[in-house]
Structure 1
Amino acid sequence: MTIDLTGADGSTLLFEAGDTLADTASPRPYLHPICSPAGTVLTEIAPADHPHHMGLSLALPDVNGSHFWGGKTYVPGRGYLWHNRHGRQRVVDVRPDRLCGRDGAGKTFRGRGLECTIEWIGADGESRLIEDRSITRLVSPPGGSGRKAVLRWNSVITPHHDAVISSPGAQGRAGAGYGGIFWRFPRRLDWEVFSPEAAGERSINGSSAEWIAMRSAPSTEHRSDAIGQAVTVVLRQRGPRVPWFVRTAEYPGVCPALAWCEPLRLPAGRPFGFGLEALITDEDLTTVTRVERALAEVGWER
């Protein structure tokens, strides 16, 4: 199942149910492609380095022993091994909608969105969680310092039984507490990351920065896949603030990490909400001041 969330500006956004993915990828719904207003593709699916990375998706390495991330399972003291513990996310229903909003100057943003219900099914075939998810994408009108898009993702997960969400980081692998709303950026672009306090993967991975910016400058390389367009994606968390998982060297990817260095424990029947918000622009935002000016233009408050 594919739902087209492309707006009037023509920049593509597709919601894929993911029901045809291989079991080893932990089948799940995802967004791909996510494009900038000028058309630069900002997601990647099934890359050679990590075939279980799927655009922008909600993936968790361990929920009560089932693997909802895809690929190999981290085993303390032994590394990554193939275990037949993969779960899957099944889309129960989807409710698309058209919508609009206003920026900080009162200009109208227009776009599309959807709400959906997703069942998380463990490796044993039993339902682990029910998730209510909403996704919206709004695009600014022409003019100002440049056209911008705002993508918002909100999830509320409710466990059927007491749930323990874990990660390699919570099991002792330093700096690898990944698991959450994970954005896999395309490797063909050269990415840099910075926040209000720091720059670079080593400084930001594991930090609790208010926002982080993934920036790709125009390429000067003479490659067939090189682009001449700059793009910046500014990300901030919605709901409880947790550490950021960030990669730019091995591969480009980002997520707010729900179980960074210790498991997240959720009581049965109690909803837990979290989310991610992204400002997407074809501007080359090179400094904290320029990022915060752009955030103010779309009405983001500190």
Structure 2
Amino acid sequence: MRHSRPLLALACALAFALPAQAAVDAKLSPDQVTITDDGKPVLVYRARTADPAQPGRLNYIHPLYAPDGTALTEDGPADHPHQRGVFWAWHQVKLNGQPAADGWFMTGLTYFVKGQKFQGQTDGSGVLTVDLDWMVSKDGELVYVASETTKITVHPLDKGGRTLDFDTAITPKVDGLSLGGSDDAKGYGGFSIRLVRPDQLTFASQGKVVQPQVGQVSAGSSMGFTWPASAGYPAWAVGLACKANGQPITQWILRRELSMQNCAFPGRVPVQLTKGQPLRLQAAIVIQPRKAP
């Protein structure tokens, strides 16, 4: 009995020394993965299409939630039914220089999710890893053209805000695969986000207001999006930054209308991929309380 107090003190000390169990958690199912923080929803990853007529409508995030539970994204709006929350897609999916599919419009290309894994981290964050195959429909057959591994890291709240990191590796399994944005002067394609009420957004980069244009806008390596500081709009600011193979993307498609926002990569001219060598795309989304005017 004379050792009970020292042992109790040691046990308490060890309990306080151990890292707190991560509050970020996930519920996995064949259809979707729901990530939560302290039981509150953060995002939903769509792992299976809900519409057999759209076999390519998967491998994206919707809804993406603000820390107060406000849904910040839209999926399949009437104005652009193909836009879908947070997504990464290209109009030009080519094989040996010839059009093979359109990942943006979800025609000719679909994905097969092979595995989902979620791991909590000692810093309180959580990482969802998804492995999938890209399949192109060609001459009545499905052709396995690439594998994709996407890691989504959800960080715990920090000063009322949240950061999410996306890390995608697309590895060609055939020779001659290339990806390109829209085949026009706009050249939009790559990592995109369809925010709610986009017609009311204000844009800023490097501390300066940025005006949207029909074509690409050259700006800094990050872009901020805010809604009006009035009732009926999200009381949040959203930041976005993207990289391709480690290089910051500074070309943007910005829309103050009913449409999406896009880190434009590679643009109109397709980038040629090499069999077995991954194309690495990274993006960070920051959600912070809107500053008082």
Common fold: TM-score over 0.5? yes
Asked whether 1:92 is paired with 2:114, we answer yes
In the alignment, which of 58, 63, 69 is matched to residue 104 of structure 2? Answer: 69
Q: Report what 1:147 is aligned to.
A: 160
| Contact 1:70–1:86 (8 Å) recurs in 2 | no
Asked whether 1:159 is paired with 2:175, we answer no
Distance 1:24 1:2, change over 3 A: closer
1:178 alignment partner AA = Y
Asked whether 1:234 is paired with 2:221, we answer no
| Contact 2:222–2:242 (8 Å) recurs in 1 | yes
Q: Distance in 2 between matches of 1:164 and 1:285?
A: 45
1:137, CA displacement in angstroms? 0.9
Asked whether 1:180 is paired with 2:190, we answer yes
Q: Distance in 2 between matches of 1:266 and 1:138?
A: 32
The correspondence of residues 172-211 of structure 1 with structure 2, limited to 5 A, is 173-174=184-185, 176-187=186-197, 190-196=200-206, 197-202=208-213, 205-211=216-222
Q: Report what 2:288 is aligned to.
A: 281
**Greater Cα shift, 246-255 or 128-137:** 246-255
1:279, CA displacement in angstroms? 1.0
Percent identity, please. 21
Q: Report what 1:120 is aligned to.
A: 134
Q: Report what 2:226 is aligned to.
A: 215
TM-score of the superposition, structure 2-length normalised? 0.78
| Contact 2:162–2:287 (8 Å) recurs in 1 | yes
In the alignment, which of 257, 265, 269 is matched to residue 258 of structure 1? Answer: 265
1:123 alignment partner AA = S
1:231, CA displacement in angstroms? 0.9
| Contact 2:189–2:266 (8 Å) recurs in 1 | yes
| Contact 2:242–2:282 (8 Å) recurs in 1 | yes
| Contact 1:181–1:276 (8 Å) recurs in 2 | yes
Q: Distance in 2 between matches of 1:51 and 1:25?
A: 14
Asked whether 1:31 is paired with 2:61, we answer yes
1:57 alignment partner AA = F
Distance 1:34 1:155, change over 3 A: same
1:103-149 CA-partner distances (Å, limit 9, x unpaired): xxxxxxx33221011111112211111011100111225xxxx4110
Q: Report what 2:14 is aligned to.
A: none
1:86, CA displacement in angstroms? 2.5
Q: Report what 2:147 is aligned to.
A: 130
2:279 alignment partner AA = F
TM-score of the superposition, structure 1-length normalised? 0.75
1:25, CA displacement in angstroms? 7.2
Distance 1:194 1:22, change over 3 A: farther
Q: Distance in 1 between matches of 2:188 and 2:130?
A: 24
What is the aligned length? 251
Q: Unpaired runs of 5+ in structure 1?
A: 72-84, 102-109, 221-225, 287-302
1:68 alignment partner AA = G
| Contact 1:28–1:57 (8 Å) recurs in 2 | no
Q: Report what 1:74 is aligned to.
A: none
| Contact 2:80–2:259 (8 Å) recurs in 1 | no
